[in-house]
Amino acid sequence: MRQTTAVILGAGKGTRMKSDLPKVLHTVEGKPMVQHTIERARAAGVSDIIIVVGYKRDMVMEALKDLDVKFAIQEEQRGTGHAVAQARPYLENFDGNVVVLYGDMPLLSTETIRSLIQRRDETNAAGAILTIVLDNPPDFGRIVRDETGRVLRVVEVKDASPEILAIKEVNVGAYCFDCQALLPALDQLRDDNAQGEFYLTDVVEILAGQGLRVETVVTPNLEEALGVNDPVHLAFAEKLSDIRYAESLYDLIDATVAMSRARRSGGAASEGSP
């Protein structure tokens, strides 16, 4: 396996968390969410880890100071592609894999991260991305393929047509790229989209447009697709072991809402309750 560096995105405030604490420092099972991501990346064989920080960065850096990670600063939040680009000083002379992960996905497993790295290595593709197929997908970017199954692009929901929204395979938000393919693609990102941001997902279309392949790893584990975006999700992540395997992501959301209501009422909730 080639040497692998991870870039973990942790610059956001997380306004929906309704807290001044940086989003990635909220705890799951007694440790900051981002620490789960760091530990699982290391267990998957990642050699160096770069954390992209922004909101209250001194607090995040202090919390992670003993974890042997490097920091890149995103002064202004201009999208996920822009965030990854802030790690460029560490990557310019690197010839290996770059795994990109989110610091608010504490349920992503070591096995899945390792699978992404292995898929990129085994196929020698420009990149590999984690996807999931759902009958009723939430607002995740859709995976657009050609008639042969080759990945062409990822289209964010706000930019998607009704035809694109009908696609059931969606982007989870974990990636492994060949570093020397990733960096030039980052330079080509544009912010002419519904959110006015530089999307990391646009790297897929740029690479495909160059005739390069982007492979996928399809996860069957719905819980891995859950990013923690608000206190309800945080409660769910803490209680995941108490919930049976859900049939759809909406069952997970229903279970989360049920636990939130139970917490407010002081009572217990049944599994999958609305």
Task: State the catalytic residues.
Answer: 16
Angle at 22 between CA 17 and CA 25, to 5 degrees: 95
First to last CA, the chain: 45
Dihedral sign of CA atoms 121, 123, 129, 133 in order: negative
Question: Which of 159, 220, 190, 227 has the alpha carbon at shortest distance from 9?
Answer: 227
- The set of residues, in sequence order, having a beta carbon less than 8 Å from that of 75 and lying 6+ positions away, is 54
Q: Residue 209: enclosing H or E segment and its boundaries?
A: helix 202-209
- The set of residues, in sequence order, having a beta carbon less than 8 Å from that of 196 and lying 6+ positions away, is none
Cα distances from 2 to residues 46, 108, 141, 158, 246, in angstroms, run 10, 21, 29, 36, 36
